[in-house]
Amino acid sequence: MSDPNFSRKEFIQKAVAVGILTSSATVLGSCSNAPAGIKERGLILSNFSEVGVELEKLLLSKEIIPYGEWNPSQILLHCAQSIYYSIKGYPENKSEIFQNTLGKIAFWNFSRKGKMSHDLNAPIPGADILRADVSIQESVIELQKSISAFSHYTGEFAPHFAYGKLTKQEYELAHAMHIANHLDYVTLS
């Protein structure tokens, strides 16, 4: 028995959209975001416990050499912003159509690979400008506070601005991969 609310035209449109999205899934996850001349450390993080270990390494480093337009503290503050926004809501969101199609495919592809790839100089749409005058210790503490707030949060999470609705477990993975993607290009000595 067919659904009277689902027309043949809608079926064809959805079938074409799925075909296009499926064929573009490889493209979404295959772009390189490596800063020119910077070697990737091969950092893979899948949860906040692993993030904590990496943050300890940052604090013990004698020198932290950044890449791109942000200093190391701004990178950490950017990651903290994203975690806070998953609780209170992102300032600007992609359309629901984007979130439920390309966004979901991108998140699925990153999750499958265990690694995220995105523009490392792109701010969160609509986010406050990142302060450049914060010490590395203060920015690590801010990121740790955002992780703690996330971990203790029991309400419904806001949709991710690009990936849409995520479970707490999916969000933790997304945030850990996001942090790893940024820190992968920070040189520690």
Q: What is the pLDDT of residues 104-120, one digit of tens each?
A: 999 999 999 999 999 99
Largest Cα span, the chain: 69
Give residue 19's pLDDT.
47
Number of domains in the chain: 1
Per the listing, tokens 């914060």 go with: 134
The whole domain housing 119 covers: 8-188
Q: What is the pTM of this model?
A: 0.83
Q: Is residue 1 part of a domain?
A: no
pLDDT reported for residue 3: 53
Residue 22: which pLDDT band, with cuts at 50, 70 and 90?
very low
Question: Is 46 within the bounds of a domain?
Answer: yes
How far is the CA of 154 from the CAs of 91, 163, 177, in angstroms? 21, 20, 22
- For 138-182, the pLDDT digits (tens) are 999 999 999 999 999 999 999 999 999 999 999 999 999 999 999
Q: Is residue 183 part of a domain?
A: yes
Query: Is 36 part of any domain?
Result: yes
Q: Within a domain: residue 3?
A: no
What is the mean pLDDT of the segment spanning 73-88?
Answer: 98
